[in-house]
Amino acid sequence: MNQDVPYKTYLTEAELPGAWYNLRADMKTKPAPLLNPGTGKPMTAEELNHVFCEELVKQELDNDTPFIPIPQEVRDFYKMFRPSPLVRAYFLEQALGTPAHIYYKFEGNNTSGSHKLNSAVAQAYYAKAQGLKGVTTETGAGQWGTALSMACAFFKLDCKVFMVKCSYEQKPFRREVMRTYGADVTPSPSMETQVGRKINAEHPGTTGSLGCAISEAVEAAVTREGYRYVLGSVLSQVLLHQSIIGLETHAALKKLGVKPDVIIGCAGGGSNLGGLIAPFMGEKLRGEADYRIVAVEPASCPSFTRGRYAYDFCDTGRVCPLAKMYTLGHDFIPSASHAGGLRYHGMSSVLSELYDEGFIEAKAVEQTSVFQAAEQFARTEGILPAPESSHAIRVAIDEALRCKAEGKAENIVFGLTGTGYFDLTAYQSFNDGKMSDYIPTDEELAANFAKMPTL
Amino acid sequence: MNQDVPYKTYLTEAELPGAWYNLRADMKTKPAPLLNPGTGKPMTAEELNHVFCEELVKQELDNDTPFIPIPQEVRDFYKMFRPSPLVRAYFLEQALGTPAHIYYKFEGNNTSGSHKLNSAVAQAYYAKAQGLKGVTTETGAGQWGTALSMACAFFKLDCKVFMVKCSYEQKPFRREVMRTYGADVTPSPSMETQVGRKINAEHPGTTGSLGCAISEAVEAAVTREGYRYVLGSVLSQVLLHQSIIGLETHAALKKLGVKPDVIIGCAGGGSNLGGLIAPFMGEKLRGEADYRIVAVEPASCPSFTRGRYAYDFCDTGRVCPLAKMYTLGHDFIPSASHAGGLRYHGMSSVLSELYDEGFIEAKAVEQTSVFQAAEQFARTEGILPAPESSHAIRVAIDEALRCKAEGKAENIVFGLTGTGYFDLTAYQSFNDGKMSDYIPTDEELAANFAKMPTL
């Protein structure tokens, strides 16, 4: 193996970023504010403080401060799993016979198995600092719930997780990791909340959705003394915390003297993509550098490529504020054949605005081709990727093959957000040749668009 | 957090060891040779070449060469997951309130989830270099089978795994990872081999054992053209490859200026313990330094603490050579209540000889206390440990508490061999308060000793 650069690049602990980067500070058009669904007016800090921790509300509403210091306790926790490696995919390049140089930032080397821990520890820290008893949240595929359980165990906070019922049943091991970290895990929709009982009554036998679980978690937070709600994606505060991914990637590439041509991330609610691209997008917005930035989403949940840019509810139960985002409608639930995460109906307001302004490209890919990429990656690079991350792998491979056809030695960087240890039911379906693809029809999408609020 | 040293220490790629260390070269009394069960004479290279790859047979029989170069292809593969971090367990120390300094070498950051990959890639490489079509092996808890599947996928070798039937049924996800890497996985005892059919006939409904699966894998190798058998523990060649763990640990501690007082490893067949302690034991044998070296085994499978040091069969089906080792008898199968690995009836001949000469201490621990340690570790250090590794955690915590009681700031180093992602059935049983302990009676052990060969 001829190496230009090390196979893995680690920053030292001293080189760990001391502050998160707030991309909004460099956006000329700021993301649209959250609205109070009752009044149609922007949510105030006071209103949001009922649901979220105070410091996190400040971060949510702060469109101006470019760098926000990372508290020492969070930096200490980060040292358990950060800096994460930036890997040069020499073996994948070799297998593809491409002149492209492929790099990936691997966020899966922690027990929660994904990048979600970056924001979980920040949110748990601020909850503890505010003197709260506990937090509530929802989880779908389970990455976020696991990450939050770990963070809460560390800071000795109660952690109540509403887990989408079909995941709760299909992923008992995910549930068990959360329990090992002391979390209380409830299948959603449950009978514990008003909104859960209502959804169960209206849709008997439903196996739940992320939108329902959010509604339940928010209700559980606001009706309990000393609890707040926390969310693992979509919100601007989450993108802020996840900027650690991009800051480390940026610093490592700089050390290697490598300038990326294209940066690729999978996109569900936007937590990973928004974090990975943050400092690069900042340079792009400030006119200091240019990069192609590609969001990859499932063809079965295509919010960027087929959604509308409009105000919509963040949850099925309509208990949350309205957000302006690319959305498939708050009632949209991906087909049962869809494996893994990236199943949220909307997309971060920050990323939605940037996409609308043309700073981001988007591609939708079908899951069979995603798992083909996952298998090739696993066999060559030795890491079993999460289905979510494999969306980015699919497009990274496609880009590398384009470079091969064009004879170009471009630098391709993608985010490998997590591992697939808890997604083996999906792998089994792929290994058995039983995986299918699903693309929603225009009629299905139109039916959901029709139910969106009109503002 | 006040830090004396970084939380994690990584060697650079340039600092990766270029050769494995062969501990046998420094042993005054060499480990007893493998014997041909038919003749009672030492196995020759020619005899062993029918079962094992030629280069590996050379390594198995080489008691003299202290350093054996690591082939470039293996070093390249190692870069995918090595160097592994040496972690200072600051958070665990804090939780225990101990003046001791605790370090662990974490081998779980690869898809196979354990240190087994260190030897799997070496064995697959030599098989490929010899022009073989494929290899056969057995797996119990699944770590070794997964590691070998990954290595075979990389070198494009067929991989046939006999998986102990109870694990095959209880760990479908382990099986699915191996399938994703293209391995052919068969529950053992199977009807595919003569020895499997015999064991099935004699013990109808048996859920298998590691000893049975070894017999089947060996038979499958010797009866197929272009196949050889490979083994993930016990053999001296495996300890040689695993010395990479100890060499990296030794180099990292040297960089930090830290001299360990006690080095702790879990011990099943001895692959991790033998690898972790290798260079330290070398110094001890050469009289250059002294360390306490502690092997930790399950009280339910106590080969060191209650076994006999004698020649015994390596497998239930008696198709393998005889090895002199601490053994519970080749018919010993741990109680069904025993979770995780460390269930082999014998122990590496190298370690057995060193233990017999008093260079190693051994402790047996019960699994409930092991999972208590695992839970505490997971919640403070953020890594969900494998049940096997948690045996070492248990004793590391006990040693740290002893240091607290004695007011001593000793340096404790232990091997964290892997992660527990595929052991969540065991964690669930612990979380539900349903885990039980089992210690074999003297009568049970005596019955198995009685069946051992007399030499």
Same domain as A120, residue A101: no
Task: Specify if B454 maps to a domain.
Answer: no
Question: What three-state secondary structure class fits B21?
Answer: strand
pLDDT of the residue at B170? 84
Q: Phi then psi for A305, rounded to 5 degrees?
A: -80, -20
Rounded-to-integer distance, Cα B34 and Cα B16, Å: 32
B364-411: pLDDT as tens digits: 999 999 999 999 999 999 999 999 999 999 999 999 999 999 999 999
Flag whether pLDDT at A315 surpasses 90.
Answer: no
Same domain as A407, residue A285: yes
Same domain as B302, residue B284: yes
Task: Specify if A206 maps to a domain.
Answer: yes
A&B contacts, CB < 8 Å: 114
Binning pLDDT at 50, 70 and 90, where does residue A316 land?
Answer: confident
A18-30: pLDDT as tens digits: 999 999 999 999 9
Chain B within 8 Å of A110 (Cβ-Cβ)? yes
Residue A287: CB atoms within 10 Å: 7
Residue A112 structure tokens: 């929660």
Q: Which of A153, A156, A67 is nearest to A117 (CA)?
A: A153
pLDDT of the residue at A16? 94
Flag whether pLDDT at B21 surpasses 90.
Answer: yes
Mean pLDDT for A38-61 is 96
**Chosen domain end from B176, B196, B229:** B229
Same domain as B211, residue B261: no
DSSP secondary-structure letter at B34? P
**Chosen domain end from A206, A229, A252:** A229
Binning pLDDT at 50, 70 and 90, where does residue A42 land?
Answer: very high
Flag whether pLDDT at A455 surpasses 80.
Answer: no
Task: Specify if B420 maps to a domain.
Answer: yes
Same domain as A322, residue A192: no
Chain A within 8 Å of B438 (Cβ-Cβ)? no
Residue A64 structure tokens: 């101006």
Question: What three-state secondary structure class fits B101?
Answer: strand
pLDDT of the residue at B120? 98
**Chosen domain end from B209, B229, B249:** B229
Binning pLDDT at 50, 70 and 90, where does residue B141 land?
Answer: confident
Same domain as A267, residue A178: no
- Per the structure, the count of domains in chain B is 2
Query: Do A180 and B378 make contact, defined as CB atoms within 8 angstroms?
Result: yes
Give me the percent of chain A exceeding a pLDDT of 70: 100
CB of A221 closer than 8 Å to CB of A51? yes
CB of A269 closer than 8 Å to CB of A347? yes
pLDDT of the residue at B217? 97
Rounded-to-integer distance, Cα A152 and Cα A157, Å: 5
Same domain as A390, residue A282: yes
Asked if the bond preceding B99 is cis, omega within 30° of 0, the reply is no
Same domain as A295, residue A185: no
CB of A224 closer than 8 Å to CB of A377? no
Task: Specify if A29 maps to a domain.
Answer: no
pLDDT of the residue at B341? 86
Q: Which of B18, B34, B31 is nearest to B63 (CA)?
A: B31
DSSP secondary-structure letter at B279? H
Binning pLDDT at 50, 70 and 90, where does residue B207 land?
Answer: confident
Same domain as B213, residue B105: no
The complex's ipTM works out to 0.95
Same domain as B98, residue B184: no
pLDDT of the residue at B126? 98
Q: Which of A271, A276, A274 is nearest to A253 (CA)?
A: A276
Residue A314 structure tokens: 């963040």
Flag whether pLDDT at B455 surpasses 80.
Answer: no
Q: Which of A375, A377, A380 is nearest to A435 (CA)?
A: A375
CB of B180 closer than 8 Å to CB of A384? yes
User: What is the least distance, in Å, from the CA of B413 to any CA of chain A?
Assistant: 17
Residue-range definition of the domain harbouring residue B152? 35-64+116-229
Which residues partner with A170 through β-bridges? none
Flag whether pLDDT at B1 surpasses 80.
Answer: no
CB of B51 closer than 8 Å to CB of B343? no
pLDDT of the residue at A198? 95
SS3 assignment for chain A = CCCCCCCEECCCHHHCCCEEECHHHHCCCCCCCCECCCCCCECCHHHHHCCCCHHHHHHHHCCCCCEEECCHHHHHHHCCCCCCCEEECHHHHHHHCCCCEEEEEECCCCCCCECCHHHHHHHHHHHHHCCCCEEEEEECCCHHHHHHHHHHHHHCCEEEEEEEHHHHHHCHHHHHHHHHCCCEEEEECCCCCHHHHHHHHHCCCCCCCHHHHHHHHHHHHHCCCCEEECCCCCCHHHHHHHHHHHHHHHHHHHHHCCCCCEEEEECCCCHHHHHHHHHHHHHHHCCCCCCEEEEEEECCCCHHHHCEEEEEECCCCCCCCEEEEEECCCCCCCCCCCCCCCCCCCCCHHHHHHHHCCCCEEEEECHHHHHHHHHHHHHHHCCCECHHHHHHHHHHHHHHHHHHHHCCCCEEEEEECEECCCCHHHHHHHHCCCCCCCCCCHHHHHHHHCCCCCC
Rounded-to-integer distance, Cα B426 and Cα B274, Å: 26
Residues 332-351 of A with CB under 8 A from B: none
Binning pLDDT at 50, 70 and 90, where does residue A333 land?
Answer: confident
Flag whether pLDDT at B105 surpasses 80.
Answer: yes
Start-to-end CA distance of chain A, whole Å, equals 59
For testing the chain B interface, which of A176, A371, A428, A430 should be mutated: the one with the most B CBs within 10 Å? A176
Rounded-to-integer distance, Cα B173 and Cα B31, Å: 38
Flag whether pLDDT at A1 surpasses 80.
Answer: no
Residue B156: CB atoms within 10 Å: 11
B301-351: pLDDT as tens digits: 999 999 999 999 998 888 889 999 999 999 898 888 888 889 899 999 999
Task: Specify if B24 maps to a domain.
Answer: no
pLDDT of the residue at B104? 98
User: What is the least distance, in Å, from the CA of A172 to any CA of chain B?
Assistant: 9
pLDDT of the residue at A438? 93
Chain B within 8 Å of A20 (Cβ-Cβ)? no
Integer angstrom CA distances of residue A253 from A19, A202, A273: 18, 52, 17
Residue A381 is nearest to which of B80, B383, B431, comparing CB atoms? B80
pLDDT of the residue at B339? 82
Chain A within 8 Å of B133 (Cβ-Cβ)? no
pLDDT of the residue at A141? 84
Residue A8 is nearest to which of B76, B79, B173, comparing CB atoms? B79
Mean pLDDT for A111-122 is 97
Give A-chain residues touching B382 at CB under 8 angstroms.
77, 80-81, 110-111, 150, 154
Q: What is the CATH number of the domain that holds A344?
A: 3.40.50.1100
Integer angstrom CA distances of residue A446 from A322, A330, A442, A454, B442: 20, 12, 6, 14, 73
Rounded-to-integer distance, Cα A430 and Cα A424, Å: 9
Mean pLDDT for A240-248 is 98
pLDDT of the residue at B319? 82
Flag whether pLDDT at B12 surpasses 90.
Answer: yes
Task: Specify if A99 maps to a domain.
Answer: yes
pLDDT of the residue at A207? 87
DSSP strand pairing (A19-21 vs A67-69): antiparallel
Q: Which of B438, B311, B309 is nearest to B364 (CA)?
A: B438
| pTM for this predicted structure | 0.96
Flag whether pLDDT at A128 surpasses 80.
Answer: yes
Task: Specify if A205 maps to a domain.
Answer: yes
pLDDT of the residue at A454? 85
DSSP secondary-structure letter at B181? T
Residue B142 structure tokens: 């699944």
Binning pLDDT at 50, 70 and 90, where does residue A33 land?
Answer: very high
Q: How much is the mean pLDDT over chain A?
A: 96
Query: Do A13 and B8 make contact, defined as CB atoms within 8 angstroms?
Result: yes
Residue B13 is nearest to which of A6, A77, A181, comparing CB atoms? A6
Flag whether pLDDT at B412 surpasses 90.
Answer: yes
Task: Specify if B109 maps to a domain.
Answer: yes
Same domain as A248, residue A225: no
Same domain as A332, residue A205: no
